[in-house]
């Protein structure tokens, strides 16, 4: 069944005003620091500049849409996690932004790398990351992927199903690794974290992991421990994304550590590791107040210490897997405005639809998750009053929205450069070729120097895949 309604009946009343959290700014030119990488400033002339390079120059040199990554910012976020979580092993979840350059920076700052496909693994290897610092995830790993993990000797495989256990048993029976392959069991702890609240349930209705409450985690651990070519390291849990504080981790950590202790007892050996997953939040708009890595570390360590003390066990070797928090705020998308259309949405109100030269093909998160973003005029400052606007793409889809609500200067016009901050995570990595859009280039900027780390796709790239 499709849902149709008279144009106007719903459209006219829906969201004419800005959402309650979004106030018209005193000055549309002011940057809110938490939304931007540390290298971004608005110069006296009014233009945005990142690490000393102006956006006009970036647009002229590399074209738009363009992802602009602030290298130092990525490195410092990785370093901040490494410093705060000094006793942990930190795996960068490479799916957030998967390019060899970014993975190399993060690895150089001391982080290990998580991949969840042969493709991501290939990029991590291209970045020069040694296999013993790469972990493999996934709810449906192929035989090829598992064979690679075995043959390369990856740091660990996080096992997600009984079918995968059978596959690992068969694969290692016919080709035992020289060194046992470390594995963990991905457990569902019955905790789902969402931005501002979390829900604790006994069951989870989703595809990942094995249930603690149903005894699946313990049974998987028994089965894995019985496979000689594998080295069962412990239990893994990942409770969600865009989590702003450690309260959601508290219930999960309690359940996971209790299970860790119970499984260790049942196996008659102390499993050495526990992974608490990723999901640390970032600021996409002024309403988001993420915790610092130090606050997260202090909170998590206190929770784990208290639980281990209560269970009478030693604190295991711990790991976490931040993705978004490393790369999200470190990049913005630079677009060129193509059309500006005031759309009358009720008798009193109209909204400015600002169309840019990209859209859902380079940022699917707004359409997919109702994600909220911010935007600002990037190529110049403006003295015009703020006007409630919606930044939309050029795709044939009315849901092709990049920024749902933002106050832009009312004189925004075709040819203006527009920047959307916080697009380092899950934008380029989720990009598509919808409407045969070539995926954007990625430029890295560092200390006055800009270079491409991913080139722009071309129509020839697309035609090369089409066999006619």
Ligand X SMILES: *Cc1c(COP(=O)(O)O)cnc(C)c1O
* Rounded least distance, CB 93 to ligand X, Å: 3
The binder of ligand X chosen from 65, 135, 182, 279 (CB under 6 A):
279
Closer CB to ligand X, residue 95 or residue 260? 95
The binder of ligand X chosen from 39, 278, 379, 424 (CB under 6 A):
278
When asked if residue 241 is in the footprint of ligand X (CB under 6 A), the reply is yes
Closer CB to ligand X, residue 4 or residue 206? 206
Q: 3-class secondary structure for the chain?
A: CCCCCCCCCCCCCCCCCCCCCCCCCCCCCCCCHHHCCCCEEECCCCCEEECCEEHHHHHHHHCCCEEEEEHHHHHHHHHHHHHHCCCCEEEEEHHHCCCHHHHHHHHHCCCEEEECCHHHHHHHHHCCCCHHHEEECCCCCCHHHHHHHHHHCCCEEEECCHHHHHHHHHHHHHCCCCCCEEEEEEEECCEEEECCEEEECCCCCCCCCEECCCCHHHHHHHHHHCCCCEEEEEEECCCEECECCCHHHHHHHHHHHHHHHHHHHHHCCCCCEEECCCCECCCCCCCCCCCCHHHHHHHHHHHHHHHHHHHCCCCCEEEECCCHHHHHHHEEEEEEEEEEEEEECCCCCEEEEEEECCCCCCCCHHHHHCCCCCCEECCCCCCCCEEEEEEECCCCCCCCEEEEEEEEECCCCCCCEEEEECCCCCCHHHCCCHHHCCCCEEEEEECCEEEEEECCCCHHHHHHHCCC
The binder of ligand X chosen from 233, 324, 428, 439 (CB under 6 A):
324
Closer CB to ligand X, residue 47 or residue 275? 275
- Given a contact cutoff of 8 angstroms between Cβ atoms, the answer to whether 324 and 280 are in contact is yes
Enumerate residues 40-99 that contact ligand X by CB under 6 A. Answer: 93, 95-96
Sign of CA dihedral 199, 200, 204, 207: positive
Enumerate residues 284-323 that contact ligand X by CB under 6 A. Answer: 321-323
Closer CB to ligand X, residue 278 or residue 316? 278
376-377/350-356 β-pairing: unpaired
Number of residues located near ligand X, criterion CB under 6 A = 16
Residue 98 known to be catalytic: no
Closer CB to ligand X, residue 224 or residue 412? 224
* Rounded least distance, CB 324 to ligand X, Å: 4
* Rounded least distance, CB 277 to ligand X, Å: 5
When asked if residue 332 is in the footprint of ligand X (CB under 6 A), the reply is no
Closer CB to ligand X, residue 156 or residue 324? 324
The binder of ligand X chosen from 277, 359, 409, 440 (CB under 6 A):
277
Which region, judged by CB under 6 A, interacts with ligand X, from 7-15, 58-66, 275-283, 402-410? 275-283
When asked if residue 424 is in the footprint of ligand X (CB under 6 A), the reply is no
Instruction: Using alpha carbons, select from 76, 93, 96, 94 the residue that is nearest to residue 84.
Output: 76
Q: How far apart are CA 4 and CA 398, in angstroms?
A: 14
* Rounded least distance, CB 77 to ligand X, Å: 12
Closer CB to ligand X, residue 93 or residue 221? 93
When asked if residue 244 is in the footprint of ligand X (CB under 6 A), the reply is no
The residue whose Cβ lies closest to ligand X is 323
* Rounded least distance, CB 425 to ligand X, Å: 6
Which of 116, 308, 396, 427 is catalytic? The answer is 396
The 122-161 contact track toward ligand X, x by CB under 6 A, reads: ---------------x------------------------
When asked if residue 280 is in the footprint of ligand X (CB under 6 A), the reply is yes
* Rounded least distance, CB 290 to ligand X, Å: 11
* Rounded least distance, CB 421 to ligand X, Å: 17
When asked if residue 238 is in the footprint of ligand X (CB under 6 A), the reply is yes
Closer CB to ligand X, residue 321 or residue 405? 321
265 exposed, middle or buried (CB, 10 Å; 0-12, 13-18, 19+)? exposed
Interaction site with ligand X (CB under 6 A): 93, 95-96, 137, 238, 241, 277-280, 321-325, 425
Give catalytic residue positions: 396
């Amino acid at each position: 069944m499709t849902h149709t309604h008279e144009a106007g009946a719903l459209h006219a009343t829906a969201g004419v005003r800005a959402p309650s959290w979004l106030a018209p700014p005193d000055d549309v030119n002011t940057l809110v620091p938490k939304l931007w990488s540390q290298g971004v400033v608005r110069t006296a002339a009014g233009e945005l500049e990142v690490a000393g390079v102006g956006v006009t120059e970036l647009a002229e040199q590399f074209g738009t849409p363009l992802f602009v990554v602030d290298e130092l910012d990525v490195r410092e976020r990785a370093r901040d996690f490494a410093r705060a979580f000094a006793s942990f092993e930190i795996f960068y979840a490479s799916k957030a932004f998967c390019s060899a350059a970014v993975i190399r920076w993060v690895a150089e700052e001391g982080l290990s790398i998580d991949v969840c496909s042969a493709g991501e693994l290939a990029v991590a290897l291209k970045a020069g990351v040694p296999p013993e610092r790469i972990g493999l995830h996934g709810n449906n790993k192929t035989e090829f992927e598992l064979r690679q993990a075995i043959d390369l000797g990856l740091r660990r495989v996080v096992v997600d199903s009984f079918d995968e256990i059978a596959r690992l048993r068969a694969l290692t029976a016919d080709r035992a690794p020289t060194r046992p392959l470390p594995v963990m069991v991905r457990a569902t702890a019955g905790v789902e974290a969402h931005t501002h609240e979390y829900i604790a349930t006994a069951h989870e209705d989703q595809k990942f992991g094995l249930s603690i409450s149903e005894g699946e985690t313990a049974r998987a651990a028994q089965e894995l421990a019985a496979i000689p070519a594998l080295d069962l390291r412990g239990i893994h849990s990942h409770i969600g994304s865009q989590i702003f504080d450690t309260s959601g981790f508290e219930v999960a950590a309690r359940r996971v550590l209790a299970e860790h202790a119970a499984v260790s007892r049942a196996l008659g050996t102390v499993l050495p590791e526990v992974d608490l997953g990723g999901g640390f939040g970032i600021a996409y708009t002024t309403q988001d107040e993420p915790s610092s890595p130090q606050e997260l570390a202090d909170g998590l360590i206190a929770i784990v210490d208290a639980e281990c003390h209560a269970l009478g066990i030693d604190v295991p070797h711990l790991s976490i897997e931040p993705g978004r928090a490393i790369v999200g705020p470190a990049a913005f998308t630079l677009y060129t405005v193509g059309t500006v259309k005031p759309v009358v949405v009720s008798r009193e109100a109209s909204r400015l639809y600002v169309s840019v030269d990209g859209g859902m093909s380079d940022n699917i998160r707004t359409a997919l998750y109702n994600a909220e973003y911010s935007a600002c005029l990037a190529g110049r400052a403006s003295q015009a009053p703020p006007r409630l606007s919606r930044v939309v793409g050029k795709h044939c889809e009315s849901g092709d929205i990049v920024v749902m609500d933002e106050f832009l200067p009312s004189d925004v016009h075709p040819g203006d450069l527009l920047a959307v901050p916080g697009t380092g995570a899950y934008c380029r990595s989720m990009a598509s070729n919808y409407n045969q859009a070539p995926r954007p280039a990625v430029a890295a900027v560092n200390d006055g120097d800009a270079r491409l780390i991913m080139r722009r796709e071309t129509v020839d790239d697309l035609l090369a895949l089409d066999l006619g």
